[in-house]
Amino acid sequence: MHISTPTFQHHFIDKFQIYLDSMVQNAQDRMEDHNRSIDEYFEVRRVTIGVKAAVIINGIEMNIPEAVMRNERIATLIAAATDMILIANDVYSYNVEQARGDDRHNLVAIVMRTENLSLVDTLDWISSLHDKLVQKFLDAFHQVPHYNDPEINRQVAEFAAGLGNWVCGYELWPFEVRRDHNVSVPLRALYLI
């Protein structure tokens, strides 16, 4: 890896190993038909979504020290971005997963089941949670610490902005690749006045 720094390589290997280990848990849950609570689901899904392993790629040419990456604000940014991405993924993929009978590892189905809500009420519940995460992300983004090293400050700012780009990108990606949409049915735009 000629373009990556040793710091990045360490971060990536660590996060990717955690992600791979989580896939075993995911498979075990499916085999055992295990139903998780909302909190248990988030704990597992934050890892199985693979976001932490993916967003670390933002730092491929960076040398952000481990202590900086563990800073409370940086950790909050990563956690909020992860949760927003997993929410988007689960909302977008819900219809396909429930149609296949494979929705036990999907937030929409879990909230409907555990909170005994309709689909509309579930989406309202999830939307409210998402709004809180957006605010949490923005608050942490505006409070990212500054260090005595201008290069570290530049890299941290770039990494933080990259996390926001991942969230925005994931909001658009499913409509580009149409993985969770019937490709034989064209998407339509509805303009409201």
Residue 72 C-alpha from the chain's centroid = 18
Domains in the chain, CATH or no CATH each: 6-177 (1.10.600.10)
pLDDT in tens, 57-67: 777 788 888 89
What number of residues does the chain have? 193
25: region left, alpha or beta (phi > 0 left; psi from -120 to 50 alpha): alpha
CA distances from 71 to 56, 82, 114, 179, 182 (A): 15, 16, 34, 35, 42
Determine the pLDDT at residue 146.
93
Segments of the chain scoring below 50 in pLDDT: 1
- Report field, pTM of the whole predicted structure over 0.85: no
